[in-house]
């Protein structure tokens, strides 16, 4: 291969790598509520990605959200846990999914102290989905569950913290795929340690799918 051909080959290879990296980027983990909600709605309009049932897909307009409320965007102290072992987190289907406790967030909301455990999925899953490699998983329930929000709890994703402070924004809370009527998903059930005795009127609300109407 001539030096010119080698340069062309290297250029094409780098272009492919950067293109793949760009395509792998995800709105999960963003701190921009508008970007996140636009991404979620777009995902739901894509038949290949949407968790909607067939009969709901054609009538879908957008997800239901609480109005953005800054009081549900708080600074939290993050402490990384050590010597944690992987465990099997129960899911809605009765199966389990492997996670490890990565750390703890402590924060104030309405003048009261709260905490949430933060988890990381197993290495095998991260190899399959490298775009999520720097994301941490926060499943939680709150006092709106079963009323204004999905009774099975909601999720928040955050980027792996670089220090001991994290912005925890409940306006980014979203429903698991199981909230949309399909039985083909296994959605992690929030551990009891992540039950908040507070009404988190922020993020995604319940969605009334066809058989629930």
Distance CA 92, CA 188 (A): 7
Distance CA 103, CA 84 (A): 9
Q: Which of 120, 46, 128, 60 is nearest to 89 (CA)?
A: 120
Determine the pLDDT at residue 21: 34
Q: Which of 19-28, 115-124, 201-210 has the lowest mean pLDDT?
A: 19-28
The tally of domains found in the chain comes to 1
Determine the pLDDT at residue 7: 41
Tell me the two tokens of residue 180.
């949309």
Better pLDDT: 112 or 182: 112
160: confidence class by pLDDT, cuts 50, 70, 90 = very high
Domain span at residue 189 reads 3-212
Determine the pLDDT at residue 6: 42
Determine the pLDDT at residue 103: 97
Determine the pLDDT at residue 126: 80
Distance CA 61, CA 57 (A): 9
pTM: 0.85
Q: Which of 7-11, 28-32, 190-194, 203-207 has the lowest mean pLDDT?
A: 7-11
Distance CA 57, CA 117 (A): 34
Distance CA 135, CA 110 (A): 27
3: confidence class by pLDDT, cuts 50, 70, 90 = low
**Residue that has been written with the tokens 């790598």 in this structure:** 17
């Amino acid at each position: 291969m001539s030096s010119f051909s080698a340069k062309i080959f290297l250029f094409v290879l780098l272009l492919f790598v950067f293109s793949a990296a760009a395509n792998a980027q995800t709105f999960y983990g963003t701190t921009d509520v508008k970007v996140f909600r636009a991404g979620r709605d777009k995902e739901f309009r894509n038949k290949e990605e949407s968790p909607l049932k067939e009969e709901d897909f054609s009538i879908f307009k957008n997800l239901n959200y609480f109005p953005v409320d800054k009081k549900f965007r708080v600074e939290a102290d993050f402490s990384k846990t050590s010597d944690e072992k992987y465990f099997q987190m129960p899911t809605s289907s009765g199966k389990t999914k492997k996670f490890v406790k990565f750390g703890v967030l402590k924060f104030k909301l309405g003048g009261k102290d709260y905490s949430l455990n933060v988890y990381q999925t197993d290495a095998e899953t991260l190899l399959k989905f490298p775009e999520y490699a720097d994301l941490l998983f926060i499943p939680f329930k709150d006092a709106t569950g079963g009323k204004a929000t999905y009774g099975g709890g909601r999720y928040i994703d955050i980027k792996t913290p670089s220090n001991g402070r994290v912005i925890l924004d409940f306006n980014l809370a979203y429903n698991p795929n199981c909230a949309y009527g399909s039985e083909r998903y296994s959605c992690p059930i929030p551990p009891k340690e992540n039950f908040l005795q507070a009404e988190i009127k922020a993020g995604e609300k319940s969605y009334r799918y066809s058989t629930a109407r």
